[in-house]
Amino acid sequence: MEEQYVDEAPAQPYNFGGDKASIIEKINPEEIVELIRNRLMGKSLDPTTGKWITNSILKDNAISEIGAWDLTNLLLSIANQNTSLSKLDDKTIRKRAYSLTETSVHMMISNWQEYEITNRSQIKFVADIMYSLTLITLKMADAEGIRKMITGMYSESKNINELQDGKKSFFRK
């Protein structure tokens, strides 16, 4: 077998600093909110069409469209880029997660007919989803985790670029 050599300059390192805005855009907790909204309505994504379809298997825990929208709108108060880039401590995170979950339970009890709540297990099911998503989303902001990661990536990229600018290679003469 004959070896083939490619006559190209070596690849340049990825420029994280120039792509900082794109990294922030990729931190998009709102995507999970859309997924949760549809799942709360008893829908699943059809892989062949890419559209949400009602799944009869999920009907026992499904709630109405207005209920799913109301509850996921509540989630949007924490599932956003601003929250991800915030600096929160564990106590604040847990209090907020509990408060949001408590509010969602009150909403389901107050609007049980409109939300098509037919049993207590539905409330527990939805409350657990709300709490889990809230806690996980807020934990992204624990001790500035994501903010520090982005700052670190920017700093590392800057150092690599400065180092490369100082070197002359065969291809840059």
Average pLDDT along the chain, 173 residues, taken 10 residues at a time:
53 48 62 91 94 92 96 89 75 93 97 96 94 86 59 55 56 53
Query: Which is nearest to 132 in space by CA: 160, 155, 100, 157?
Result: 100
Q: What was the pLDDT predicted at 32?
A: 85
d(CA 150, CA 81): 13
Q: What was the pLDDT predicted at 140?
A: 76
Q: Is 8 part of a structural domain of the chain? A: no
List the domain range (segments joined by +) for residue 129. 18-36+63-161
Q: Is 168 part of a structural domain of the chain? A: no
Q: What was the pLDDT predicted at 144?
A: 54
pTM of the model: 0.68
**Terminal Cα-to-Cα distance of the chain (whole angstroms):** 35
**Domains: count for the chain:** 1
